[in-house]
A and B are shown apart, each in its own frame.
Chain A
Amino acid sequence: MRRSSESETGSPGIGTRLAVPDDVAFARHLEVGYPGRTVWTDANFRIRRGEFVAVIGPNGAGKTTLFRLLLGMIRSTDGELRVFGGPPRRGNPKIGYVPQTHLVDRDTNVEAVQLVRLGFAGNRWLPNLTPSQFRAERAATEEALTSVGALEIARKPLGALSGGELQRIFLAEALAPGPELLLLDEPLANLDLRRARELVDLVHRLVRSRNVATLLVAHDINPLIRHLDKVIYIANGHVATGLPQDVLTTESLTELYGVPVEVLRDSRGNLVIVGGDDVHPDPGA
């Protein structure tokens, strides 16, 4: 990976953490808040192409806020954030996004493939007019549906899909335009453990085969831990970033939460985090 010269970022050098052109996202001393309330401060992370990153933390810690920052939907209050080498901007075509509260009407009779089509070119104004537009849309839609294994359910009405099937359709919708960064907000919520693991395996395959950097917000690290390249742990107004084995330790999480926290490990490698503001029970227990 090529390192840039310090002058390229234009910021006076602390030296060690500067944005390089290969970075998908880069944050330094990043702070975000709303009037009267700071959500978190001093976030430092670097996400490179094709990395699989989990964003973990208790409810309300500001995980979705991080996504909204990267999407350019809100502004940071301090620090530096670069997305694909530039400031974050709304509607960046390189970012695919699957929100947590996907407000798809459960009664809707619209077939799933239509959502994927709109994911490919729904931000265009006119309907498809030329044969090449039709072809491009069809090819991208089919490719995205195939890659998430959802070709068989593509003609089903959205309202008739199960939670896991819906998540795969949403993934295809986000993948259709060929993003380089994928933001998945709580895709594992409402899935049972087996479906959650299946989805994580699928996302992992997509990350590797498409070399698409992926940030996945989750409550529980355990279904993810085998595949992760990096963890962003948000709690108590602070953000810890690094390799899973470095972040998910008693010492690092105690520092993050500011109160004693203990990380326990069972015989199969599942983690239980005890203390802090919340407790992560072993999901299988």
Chain B
Amino acid sequence: MSDWSWVWWNWNLVGDLREMLQYEFIRNLFAAGTIIAVLGGVVSYLVVLRRSSFASHALGHIGFSGAAGAVVFAVNPFYGLLLATTVSGGGIAVLGKRAAQRDVEIGTILAFMLGLGLLFLAFYQGYASEAYSILFGQVVGIDNAQVVLTFETAIPVLIVLGLVYRQLLFASLDEEVAEAKGMHTMLLGLIFMLALAVAISIAVTVIGVLLIFALTVTPAAVAVRLAKRPLYAVVLSVLVALFATWAGIFIGFYEIEPTSFFIVTIVFAIYVIVRALPPLSRLRVRLAAARGSGSRARLPSGVPVRADRPDDSPHPPADSETG
């Protein structure tokens, strides 16, 4: 390989990848990005199911203040992030699921927390680059210790989520019945919020607080449009997050623009394509019908069609008696 080849990529992707992986910071980025995408993909499904995307947005911003505060006190910003997001996430959870959907209260607290973050930044002299990396993700700054920390935080959360998966799903889908069945819906909500807080905290190191939605909301927004089973949706959501993260890091290595931009753009592109699919398929059906092939044959397979139901018979006797 000649000395200029690393600044531009060719279509030999395997060769490109091998080239890239010689750099430690890229290896770290791939490792951290992978675990972030897995946890982000899982958590994002719950975010969409519980309609908590504003809470997730708020947690990211509150995390910014925590990180800024940690910088002032010369602590690893990650710990500040984790502290701020878990405490405020726990607070939101204790107030209940309906509170997590309440945007006015969350917005009020959010504004104050951001103000606090600004204050911390004012205390800190060399804030510009530090703030920039928290807001938009630090691409080259992930060292080995950070990767280990990311894994140490994410793996236990994934295990806990796997353990409570069923109950959490039930409580998210049908809270009242879950409560009547004796489930601890508040505890489950708390587990969800803490998982979200951790997912956000580790994702910030790659993608930054402002772009956090790309990994905590959009993957599931794509998945729920394609999969009707929760398990499939979770898997799909993880795959979308993984693909976007890997591809984003890959392109970001060769291009001058920031990696987080590519991750966000790829996720968004997938979302746009998926949103555009149903109208396109409707159009196709309509075109097919117009050609006379008919859309009646397009019944979904496996659906038993009851022939004995007198669908075409009128029902006047049943309701006319009280008229």
Contact at B176–A103, with CB atoms within 8 Å? Answer: yes
Residues of B contacting A157 in the complex (Cβ-Cβ under 8 angstroms): 228
Task: Report the nearest A residue to B176, measured CB to CB.
Answer: A99
Q: From residue 42 to 78 of chain B, which have CB atoms closer than 8 A to chain A?
A: 49, 51
Picked from A91, A98, A222, the residue with its CB within 8 Å of the CB of B322 is: A222
Given the known inter-chain contacts A103-B175, A114-B230, please indicate yes or no for A194 contacting B167, CB distance below 8 A: no
Would you call A65 an interface residue if the criterion is a C-beta within 8 Å of the partner chain's C-beta atoms? no
Given the known inter-chain contacts A152-B306, A155-B303, A194-B315, please indicate yes or no for A123 contacting B322, CB distance below 8 A: no
Contact at A105–B323, with CB atoms within 8 Å? Answer: no
User: Which range contains the number of A residues in contact with the other chain?
Assistant: 35 or more
Shortest beta-carbon distance, B55 to chain A, in Å? 16
Picked from A92, A109, A151, A268, the residue with its CB within 8 Å of the CB of B321 is: A268
Bound form: Cα–Cα A232–B176 in Å: 24
Bound form: Cα–Cα A174–B181 in Å: 10
Would you call B182 an interface residue if the criterion is a C-beta within 8 Å of the partner chain's C-beta atoms? yes
Residues of A contacting B175 in the complex (Cβ-Cβ under 8 angstroms): 103
Would you call B14 an interface residue if the criterion is a C-beta within 8 Å of the partner chain's C-beta atoms? no
Residues of A contacting B323 in the complex (Cβ-Cβ under 8 angstroms): 284
Residues of B contacting A95 in the complex (Cβ-Cβ under 8 angstroms): 180
Shortest beta-carbon distance, A42 to chain B, in Å? 26
Contact at A119–B322, with CB atoms within 8 Å? Answer: no
Bound form: Cα–Cα A110–B180 in Å: 22
Would you call B268 an interface residue if the criterion is a C-beta within 8 Å of the partner chain's C-beta atoms? no
Would you call B178 an interface residue if the criterion is a C-beta within 8 Å of the partner chain's C-beta atoms? yes
User: Which range contains the number of B residues in contact with the other chain?
Assistant: 35 or more
Residues of A contacting B303 in the complex (Cβ-Cβ under 8 angstroms): 152, 155
Picked from A102, A114, A119, A197, the residue with its CB within 8 Å of the CB of B318 is: A197
Bound form: Cα–Cα A123–B183 in Å: 7
Contact at A102–B174, with CB atoms within 8 Å? Answer: yes
Would you call A122 an interface residue if the criterion is a C-beta within 8 Å of the partner chain's C-beta atoms? yes
Contact at B181–A91, with CB atoms within 8 Å? Answer: yes
Contact at B322–A99, with CB atoms within 8 Å? Answer: no
Contact at A105–B51, with CB atoms within 8 Å? Answer: yes
Residues of B contacting A124 in the complex (Cβ-Cβ under 8 angstroms): 166-167
Task: Report the nearest B residue to A128, measured CB to CB.
Answer: B166
Contact at A90–B182, with CB atoms within 8 Å? Answer: yes
Given the known inter-chain contacts A103-B175, A114-B229, A119-B177, please indicate yes or no for A126 contacting B166, CB distance below 8 A: yes
Would you call A173 an interface residue if the criterion is a C-beta within 8 Å of the partner chain's C-beta atoms? yes
Contact at A102–B176, with CB atoms within 8 Å? Answer: yes
Task: Report the nearest A residue to B179, measured CB to CB.
Answer: A73
Task: Report the nearest B residue to A112, measured CB to CB.
Answer: B228
* Interface flags, A192-207, vs B, CB<8A=1, else 0: 0110010000000000
Residues of A contacting B302 in the complex (Cβ-Cβ under 8 angstroms): 155
Contact at B230–A99, with CB atoms within 8 Å? Answer: no
* Interface flags, B168-212, vs A, CB<8A=1, else 0: 011001111111111100000000000000000000000000000
Contact at B315–A152, with CB atoms within 8 Å? Answer: no
Picked from A110, A127, A270, the residue with its CB within 8 Å of the CB of B165 is: A127
Contact at A104–B181, with CB atoms within 8 Å? Answer: no
Q: From residue 212 to 237 of chain A, which have CB atoms closer than 8 A to chain B?
A: 222
Shortest beta-carbon distance, B2 to chain A, in Å? 51
Residues of A contacting B321 in the complex (Cβ-Cβ under 8 angstroms): 268, 284
Residues of B contacting A194 in the complex (Cβ-Cβ under 8 angstroms): 315, 318-319
Would you call A30 an interface residue if the criterion is a C-beta within 8 Å of the partner chain's C-beta atoms? no
Picked from A97, A105, A109, A151, the residue with its CB within 8 Å of the CB of B180 is: A97
* Interface flags, B145-178, vs A, CB<8A=1, else 0: 0000000000000000011111101100111111
Residues of B contacting A122 in the complex (Cβ-Cβ under 8 angstroms): 166-167, 169-170, 174, 178, 181
Contact at B322–A109, with CB atoms within 8 Å? Answer: no
Question: Could you say which of B170, B176, B181, B304 has the most chain A C-beta atoms within 10 Å of its C-beta?
Answer: B181
Would you call A140 an interface residue if the criterion is a C-beta within 8 Å of the partner chain's C-beta atoms? no
Would you call A282 an interface residue if the criterion is a C-beta within 8 Å of the partner chain's C-beta atoms? yes
Bound form: Cα–Cα A97–B167 in Å: 17
Contact at B178–A123, with CB atoms within 8 Å? Answer: yes
Picked from B162, B182, B224, the residue with its CB within 8 Å of the CB of A109 is: B224
Given the known inter-chain contacts A97-B180, A102-B176, A123-B183, please indicate yes or no for A155 contacting B228, CB distance below 8 A: yes
Residues of A contacting B166 in the complex (Cβ-Cβ under 8 angstroms): 118, 121-127
Contact at B174–A110, with CB atoms within 8 Å? Answer: no
Shortest beta-carbon distance, A137 to chain B, in Å? 11
Shortest beta-carbon distance, B237 to chain A, in Å? 13
Shortest beta-carbon distance, B51 to chain A, in Å? 7
Q: From residue 96 to 148 of chain A, which have CB atoms closer than 8 A to chain B?
A: 97-99, 101-105, 108-111, 114-115, 118-119, 121-127
Contact at A125–B163, with CB atoms within 8 Å? Answer: yes
Interface residues of B, Cβ cutoff 8 Å to A: 49, 51, 162-167, 169-170, 173-183, 224-225, 227-231, 233, 300, 302-306, 315, 318-319, 321-323
Q: Name 14 A/B residue pairs within 8 A (Cβ), A-sorted.
A: A73-B179, A73-B180, A89-B182, A92-B182, A99-B177, A105-B51, A109-B224, A118-B169, A122-B167, A127-B166, A152-B306, A155-B302, A194-B318, A283-B322
A110-B229, A193-B322 are known; give 8 further A-B pairs, CB within 8 A.
A91-B183, A97-B177, A102-B177, A105-B49, A114-B230, A122-B178, A155-B303, A284-B322
The 8 closest A-B pairs by CB, nearest first: A91-B182, A284-B322, A122-B170, A111-B228, A99-B176, A90-B182, A118-B170, A194-B319
